Amino acid sequence: MTRVLVTNDDGIDSPGLHALAHALRARELAVTIAAPVTQSSGSSASIMAENAEGRIRVDRRTIEGLEDVPAFAVHGGPGLIALIAARGAFGEPSDLVASGVNHGANVGRAILHSGTVGAALTGGLNGAWGLAVSLDVGLDPKIFHWDAAADAAADLVPALLQHPRGTVINVNAPNSAEIKGVVEAELAPFGIVQTTLTQKDEHDVRLAVEDLPRDPAPGSDAAHLAAGWVTVTGLDPVSHMPLGIVADAGPG
């Protein structure tokens, strides 16, 4: 049976996390939950953690409706969780790292900063398949369709597992009970929101988040998501690119 680590950057109590665990368990996957004890959004693939004498605190949890699923609240971010999971911190290393469902879309090149995506990429770099899932709730949501997003992502797992280990996909779902379908899309040049420097003085810098003042690039994940589609984007984990700027390749 395929072993799945379910994590996120919104924390162990997030309804999106629970929805994703439910959806994957319903598809007869062996689910283990390990998620940050507190909010860790924007942590990317950071391996920073609260620790004492090099120890990372991990607390066992029981989640309502998922009492039979091993669950751990970790005093660290999702990138760290995916890393220590690959080293056997929560039992046998997982075959799939599923991260989400995130509160808010993760589209465009700004996914570099996402803890949700960072966990999936870390899983991929350590020999697992990676799945990041996000729900486009906007800035002032009144209702959350966690289950629809979780089910859409879980339905993609069989196709993902047909690809080599290390393959990572980023999935975004509109905040709707009814979706048009699923489309593969490239990353938009920017994210769905942008940060703006609103204050700078001798001691402080303040950032604010606001909507992008432009239409999403046609054909991009942001554009398809805005039109009501679930988007899927394959991500290339950290790799090198040849530059050809050094004449001598090194000692022979």
Cβ neighbours of residue 240 closer than 8 Å, sequence gap 6 or more = none
For the stretch 198-208, pLDDT in tens is 555 656 666 55
Number of H helices, E strands in the chain: 6, 13
Q: How many CB atoms within 10 Å of residue 58?
A: 17
Question: Which CATH code of 2.40.33.10, 3.40.50.970, 3.40.1210.10, 3.30.365.10 fits the domain covering 3-189+217-235?
Answer: 3.40.1210.10
Rounded CA-CA distance 246/36 in Å is: 43
For the stretch 123-178, pLDDT in tens is 999 999 999 999 999 878 889 999 999 999 999 999 999 999 999 999 999 999 88
Element (H, E) at 221: helix 221-226
Element (H, E) at 231: strand 230-235
Judged against a pLDDT cut of 60, whether residue 195 lies above it is answered with no
pTM above 0.75? yes
**What percentage of the chain has pLDDT greater than the value 70?**
82
Q: What is the mean pLDDT of the chain?
A: 87
The confidence score (pLDDT) of residue 57 equals 86
Rounded CA-CA distance 107/76 in Å is: 24
Stretch 186-210: mean pLDDT: 64
| CB half-sphere exposure, 173, CA atoms < 13 A | 29
Q: Three-state SS for 87?
A: coil
For the stretch 44-95, pLDDT in tens is 555 665 666 667 889 999 999 999 999 999 998 999 999 999 999 999 999 9
The confidence score (pLDDT) of residue 44 equals 58
For the chain, domain boundaries: 3-189+217-235
